[in-house]
A and B are shown apart, each in its own frame.
Chain A
Amino acid sequence: MNIIVPIKQVPDLVEELEINAAGTDLDREWLKMKLNEFDDHALEEALLLKDEQGAHVTAIALDGDDIDKALFAAAAKGADRLVKVTGVQAGSTHEAARAMANVLGGMEYDLVMTGVQSVDDRDGQMAVLLAHYLGIPHISVVTGVQAAGGSITVHKEYGGGMVAEFEASLPVALGIQAARETPRYVPVAKVRRASRDANIEEIAAGDVSVSAGSAVAKMYKPETGAGAEMIEGSAEEQAAKVLEILKQKGIK
């Protein structure tokens, strides 16, 4: 089975984020990047399938900041092939999916598994769009994949704690919400070895013009409110005060 896992680097939210001068994006100069958490789960699910029944796993990413690091880490974890898609600055998920699909079109695959969303995409449509461009079915918000003889069974999460089980024939594109297990830790020595020994293939993106998608008009930090008021006193006094405030605000 051939599994392709599109991955991407996203801004690390542990760091303080700044908006760029134009007010349309983060200031990317000092930005620290890390692997999109959902892509990490997609990769883990792919590697679990590989461990269980054997599979050829390809990690693929659009060229970008620190992307080699992420690809080498994927190799260290067990990915068999690394591909970097060059010549594209994807402004939207649509463009990214188009670029990815262009390259995937020339590759063999049974499963395309990517993260269901990322902190910096605006629509969470990567898996859907990939499926669209590749002309294959898709299932998203997936929390576990079981493969057996040419078809797969997946669990898809719905709101309100509902879970549905789907069976799909291959090939199929999946948006992974969570792997069955916590993504594995990859020791630094293995990553270093992979950085030295593994090979990243570069493939040009080709034409990525798309007719849909969104662009950022303005990006700004959440506006802070007028401040908080600490309510003191006994429980009864506090409750009375809260009630009074709610009445004042016109909430009945």
Chain B
Amino acid sequence: METREIFRHFPLLLQIIFYVVAFSTIGVFIYGFYRRYKKYRKGRDAERFNNLLARFGKALAMMARHSTIAKRDKYAGFAHWLIFWGFVVLFIGTVIVALDHDFLRFLGIHLLQGKFYLGFSVFLDVFGVLFILGLFMMMFRRSKKPPQLDYTRADKSATIDRKGFVTDDKIFLWLLLLIGITGFIIEGARIAADRQVMDLSFERWSPVGWAIADGIDKAGLTASANNIHLYTWWFHAVIVLFFIAYIPYSKAMHMLVDFANLMFKDEMAAKRLPRVSEERQKVAMGYQKLEDFTWKELLDMDACTKCGRCHVACPAQNAGTPLSPRDLILDLRTYANDTNGVAEWFEQKDTSGKQPKTLAGGVISQDTLWSCTTCMACVEACPVGIEHLTHIVNMRRTLVEEGDMEDMLMDTLANIGDYGNSFGQSERMRAKWTKELDFQIKDVRKEEAEYLWFVGDYASYDARIQGLSQKVARIFRNIGVDYGILYDGERNAGNDVRRVGEEGLYEMLVEDNMAAFEEANFKEIFTTDPHSYNTIKNEYPDFGGEYSIYHYTGLLLKLHKEGKLKFNKKLDYKVTYHDPCYLGRYNGEVDAPRQLLEAMGVTLVDMPRCKENSFCCGAGGGRIWMDDSKMDKRPSELRIEEALSLGNGVDHFIVACPKDYAMFTDAVKTSGNEGKMVVKDIIELVEEAMGV
């Protein structure tokens, strides 16, 4: 009969011991799980229980395909896929054994026999091999010491002990590997011993076990096979049971937490920041203590596997500031666990002996929080749905509430409050740039127009950008687009004010702009500013403002396809294109600018980091209103170097964002690359290609 005995030759006492130990370890597991559950229950409501079934399905699909893990790291994605599916199949196999032996048996049912047993055997053997292969691949990867797995902290290397993290990584990897390998040895030893006394030829369906049995024979250990089986079996049992107990106290917990975190992820995280309810405003605008976090944010902290993708993607980290999104989340985790008295077995330890009194500005330093450019690279890179940016903005809201910010930022916020623009100029000067045009742009507050052009602060007030705004005005007029502007009725759209954490000012700006929109007469909006684009598109709806809005690249492409925008001259530049964070990553608009460039005939060579993976210029999230002199190297300079490294005659750096134009024209100079790279707004190419 094709089957096997579960507790092979074991006396009853040993079997009883096994069950006692097994149940106690399951108890340890359940206690650890409960501790975490209790921790999450203390979080505020997060409103993530809508569309539960759809959420579950989506998370399941993501997990099954490993789409988020394989993104931009095929090797790690594949290795994890092998480990994951190996583990799942072996786990299901074990569950079937337990079910068969501990339950169904008493109903007179025996699943693991005959053809089912043979199929079961071969299936588990194959996945067991894949499992071990995946683990070896990961081990090899770690041995190469990739930068994202370096836990060293530039900001507090002397006062933080992270050896526990490394130990945890090692234990996790070795436990899994030993479980896999000993499993096969047990199988081989059993086959080697039993085939001496009975016909086990059907066990060829366990090809790995069979091969190991052959190995045992060749090594002359056939006589000891029974002993090898017994000791390995117990060794295997001990480490498996230890593993079960270890899960909720270690990084192994990511197996459960990360599925939940993906399931409860907000697709609009970072793109649409949370509002602060009237109720909540009475307590606090931002986060001052652990109780302020929602349960999803507490889950975020535990979800981190320290894969380091956010750490290497972060422009602030690249620029040498103290911010690392990974370390921010890990510090919050340690803080949450310490506060709750539920430390994991392998935590980082602060050796400074100082106990931070506050959360924002203490547990997470002010410098760290103010370093964020809110480019969203961390959120986009995270394979497990962590929403770093929301944490950061919530803590910034507290800093703003307490006035903990640099003078320049204070002045800018005061200016925006007083004049509606970050330049501190009179609101009446907002449309001064139109004076140099030889035609009058419609005032949509007085005349009807198809499009409202939301100009934005930089395009209105910055002397470097005003010329570009005039080009946009002329080109759209040439094409015959019926548009108007709000003149002095427009205010800063508030995207970056909100990301600075000045929520009250943001709300005021939204109200002012929406009131201006209400009075004006237009069908749709377009803007050259990706920042305004994002907040009007994604965040104004939360305030009841639903508008159809285009980024000018999208509108230009539409007009080109409709035959209204004609390119009469083929441009033979070799260019690279910088995706603005708020266009590409935030809103997935990566094709329109590229199609436009293609239509104009230029040769586009993308930088290694492009589209959703674009590298921030460093201006976002209010950083453009803060001091950047303390950085090792500005993100904009790193980006220009990235563009220069393309070589092959690429000498044009095309942007589609007013702030980018300002940042990169500066960066070319400050990095000493003047003359090597020309920064141009896409509108300049459009003008040239139109040949007017």
Which residues of A line the B interface, CB within 8 A?
12, 14-16, 34, 182, 184-193
Distance in angstroms between the alpha carbons of A189 and B275 in the assembled complex: 13
Distance in angstroms between the alpha carbons of A15 and B417 in the assembled complex: 15
Q: Is B21 an interface residue (CB 8 A)?
A: no
Closest Cβ–Cβ distance, residue A191 to chain B (whole Å): 7
Question: Is there an interface contact between A15 and B505, defined as CB atoms closer than 8 Å?
Answer: no
Distance in angstroms between the alpha carbons of A56 and B135 in the assembled complex: 67
Question: Is there an interface contact between B405 and A185, defined as CB atoms closer than 8 Å?
Answer: yes
Q: Is B688 an interface residue (CB 8 A)?
A: no
Question: Is there an interface contact between A187 and B505, defined as CB atoms closer than 8 Å?
Answer: yes
Of the candidates A16, A182, A188, the one having the most CB atoms from chain B within 10 angstroms of its own CB is: A188
Question: Is there an interface contact between A189 and B425, defined as CB atoms closer than 8 Å?
Answer: no
Q: Which residues of A sit under 8 angstroms from B504, Cβ to Cβ?
A: 187-192
Known: A182-B407, A190-B504, A193-B281. 17 other contacts (CB 8 A): A14-B418, A14-B426, A34-B418, A185-B403, A185-B414, A186-B403, A187-B285, A187-B400, A187-B504, A187-B505, A188-B417, A188-B502, A189-B276, A189-B281, A189-B285, A189-B401, A189-B507
Distance in angstroms between the alpha carbons of A189 and B283 in the assembled complex: 12
Number of CB contacts from chain A to chain B under 8 A = 48
Q: Which residues of A sit under 8 angstroms from B403, Cβ to Cβ?
A: 184-187
What 1/0 flags go to B598-639 for Cβ under 8 Å of A?
Answer: 000000000000000000000000000000000000000000
Q: Which residues of B sit under 8 angstroms from A34, Cβ to Cβ?
A: 418
Q: Which residues of A sit under 8 angstroms from B428, Cβ to Cβ?
A: 15-16
Q: Is B515 an interface residue (CB 8 A)?
A: no
Q: Which residues of B sit under 8 angstroms from A14, Cβ to Cβ?
A: 418-419, 424-426
Q: Which residues of A sit under 8 angstroms from B276, Cβ to Cβ?
A: 189
Chain B binding surface, main DSSP class: helix
Closest Cβ–Cβ distance, residue A44 to chain B (whole Å): 11
Q: Which residues of B sit under 8 angstroms from A182, Cβ to Cβ?
A: 407, 410
Question: Is there an interface contact between A16 and B401, defined as CB atoms closer than 8 Å?
Answer: no
Distance in angstroms between the alpha carbons of A34 and B503 in the assembled complex: 22
Distance in angstroms between the alpha carbons of A191 and B426 in the assembled complex: 22
Q: Is B508 an interface residue (CB 8 A)?
A: yes
* List of 6 A-B pairs having minimum Cβ-Cβ separation, nearest first: A189-B504, A188-B504, A185-B410, A188-B505, A184-B403, A15-B426
Within 8 A of A (CB), among B261-276: 276
Interface size range on B against A:
20 to 34
Q: Which residues of A sit under 8 angstroms from B508, Cβ to Cβ?
A: 188
Q: Which residues of B sit under 8 angstroms from A191, Cβ to Cβ?
A: 504
Q: Is B596 an interface residue (CB 8 A)?
A: no
Could you list 21 A-B pairs, sorted by A, with CB under 8 Å?
A14-B418, A14-B424, A15-B428, A182-B410, A185-B403, A185-B405, A185-B410, A185-B413, A186-B403, A187-B503, A187-B504, A187-B505, A188-B502, A188-B508, A189-B276, A189-B281, A189-B285, A189-B503, A189-B504, A190-B504, A191-B504
Of the candidates B417, B419, B504, the one having the most CB atoms from chain A within 10 angstroms of its own CB is: B504
Closest Cβ–Cβ distance, residue A16 to chain B (whole Å): 7
Q: Which residues of A sit under 8 angstroms from B425, Cβ to Cβ?
A: 14
Chain A binding surface, main DSSP class: loop
Distance in angstroms between the alpha carbons of A12 and B425 in the assembled complex: 11
Closest Cβ–Cβ distance, residue B239 to chain A (whole Å): 55
Closest Cβ–Cβ distance, residue B499 to chain A (whole Å): 15
Closest Cβ–Cβ distance, residue B24 to chain A (whole Å): 53
Distance in angstroms between the alpha carbons of A190 and B508 in the assembled complex: 12
Distance in angstroms between the alpha carbons of A14 and B405 in the assembled complex: 24
What 1/0 flags go to B344-370 for Cβ under 8 Å of A?
Answer: 000000000000000000000000000
Distance in angstroms between the alpha carbons of A198 and B28 in the assembled complex: 55
Q: Which residues of B sit under 8 angstroms from A184, Cβ to Cβ?
A: 403, 410
Closest Cβ–Cβ distance, residue A43 to chain B (whole Å): 13
Closest Cβ–Cβ distance, residue B512 to chain A (whole Å): 12
Q: Which residues of B sit under 8 angstroms from A190, Cβ to Cβ?
A: 401, 504
Q: Which residues of B sit under 8 angstroms from A185, Cβ to Cβ?
A: 400, 403, 405, 410, 413-414
Q: Which residues of B sit under 8 angstroms from A188, Cβ to Cβ?
A: 417, 502, 504-505, 507-508
The chain A residue sitting closest to B508, CB to CB, is A188
Distance in angstroms between the alpha carbons of A16 and B432 in the assembled complex: 13
Q: Which residues of B sit under 8 angstroms from A193, Cβ to Cβ?
A: 281
Closest Cβ–Cβ distance, residue B46 to chain A (whole Å): 22
Within 8 A of A (CB), among B407-422: 407, 410, 413-414, 417-419
Q: Which residues of B sit under 8 angstroms from A187, Cβ to Cβ?
A: 285, 400-401, 403, 502-505
Q: Which residues of A sit under 8 angstroms from B414, Cβ to Cβ?
A: 185
Question: Is there an interface contact between B281 and A12, defined as CB atoms closer than 8 Å?
Answer: no
Distance in angstroms between the alpha carbons of A16 and B427 in the assembled complex: 11
Q: Take A186-B403, A193-B281 as given contacts and tell me if A16 and B502 are in contact as well, using a CB distance cutoff of 8 Å.
A: no
Distance in angstroms between the alpha carbons of A184 and B401 in the assembled complex: 11
Distance in angstroms between the alpha carbons of A126 and B421 in the assembled complex: 33
Within 8 A of A (CB), among B662-681: none
Of the candidates A14, A184, A189, A191, the one having the most CB atoms from chain B within 10 angstroms of its own CB is: A189
Q: Which residues of A sit under 8 angstroms from B401, Cβ to Cβ?
A: 187, 189-190
Q: Which residues of A sit under 8 angstroms from B505, Cβ to Cβ?
A: 187-188
What 1/0 flags go to B281-292 for Cβ under 8 Å of A?
Answer: 100010000000
Q: Which residues of B sit under 8 angstroms from A12, Cβ to Cβ?
A: 418
Q: Which residues of B sit under 8 angstroms from A192, Cβ to Cβ?
A: 504
Q: Which residues of A sit under 8 angstroms from B417, Cβ to Cβ?
A: 188
Closest Cβ–Cβ distance, residue A189 to chain B (whole Å): 3
Distance in angstroms between the alpha carbons of A185 and B419 in the assembled complex: 15
The chain A residue sitting closest to B414, CB to CB, is A185
The chain A residue sitting closest to B400, CB to CB, is A187
Q: Which residues of A sit under 8 angstroms from B281, Cβ to Cβ?
A: 189, 193
